[in-house]
Structure 1
Amino acid sequence: MTARAWQVPQEVYRALAGVSAAAKKALDPTLTELVMVRASQLNHCAFCLDMHLDLAREHGETEGRLDLVAAWHEAGDRFSERERAALALTEGITVLTDGFVPDELYALAGKHFDETELAHLIAAIIAINSWNRLMVARRTAPGETEWHS
């Protein structure tokens, strides 16, 4: 079997889609898409990156800011403190090779998100990481529509 030969089972697709939808409910759609873009960049998921860049544009995100998501640390005031906190938490949860997510990231996010928003943000980051891993494991190409059964 090759990586592209397997299909994502319908029940897995539906369950993950449900988690994704629920996670996004308490969050600003533009901020959510910035998080989805950053996680997809880190995970090298071309399928998800392509999709979430399009969705970010649909929600009114500018090309200039999208161009800088990968370098948000150095982008100055192009991203708000709230957005930077969300992007930092995204990186902390996505890149676990250095150990646990630092408490400082939770504390920073807690300054900009109430408890409900923070729980939804964490769930959204976990969901996009799951999607990224599914699509990368299957080597799903941008725009491909036949990847689940």
Structure 2
Amino acid sequence: MTTSTAINHYQNVPDIVKCFVAASGAIGKAELEPKLRHLIDLRASQINQCAYCVKMHTEEALTDGETQERLQRVVVWRHVDDFTPAEKAAFAWTEALTSLDPKTDYEWLRSDLRNHFSDAEISAITAAVAMINLWNRVQVSNH
């Protein structure tokens, strides 16, 4: 939802937005399972309280075959058995990069990621998290 005082970033800095879109497209071509990308986008959007993005990524995930039950439980992923160890590692990484905390043990998180993903996949996950955080912030700036 935007307000009457919303700033149209897309109109005001179109060249920058085009670069964001191009970067997002490149991430979409990286070595990353599309369903996992949706889950990452959804989890970061939940943390960032971006209602527009939560709705969009939920709909995209459903279109790509994700279940409503799993999507409803993303917010409580630590407490359910709906997600694989790989997905849980990606969620932990997403949360660590979205809500920065100096106490986070990134070495342990990287080690856990490496149990499930190649370094190229971890880089793609990291890029996806960075990108969704960027889009969330652009969108939230007009709440």
TM-score (norm: length of structure 2): 0.89
C-alpha RMSD over aligned residues = 1.4
1:1-149 correspondence to structure 2 within 5 Å: 4-8=6-10, 9-25=13-29, 26-76=31-81, 78-96=82-100, 98-99=101-102, 101=104, 102-139=106-143
C-alpha separation in 2, matches of 1:118 and 1:10: 30
- State the 1:3 CA deviation: 5.0
Count how many residue pairs are aligned between Structure 1 and Structure 2: 136
Q: Which runs of 4+ in 1 moved over 6 A?
A: none
Q: Would the aligned equivalents of 1:109 and 1:118 in 2 still touch at CA under 8 Å?
A: yes
Structure 1 runs not aligned, ≥5 long: 140-149
C-alpha separation in 1, matches of 2:64 and 2:115: 25
C-alpha separation in 1, matches of 2:98 and 2:103: 10
Describe the SS at the equivalent of 1:5.
coil
Q: Closer, same or farther in 2 for the Cα pair 1:100/1:13, shift >3 Å? A: farther
Q: Which has the higher contact order (CA 8 A, sep 6+)?
A: 1
C-alpha separation in 1, matches of 2:103 and 2:138: 22
Describe the SS at the equivalent of 2:32.
coil
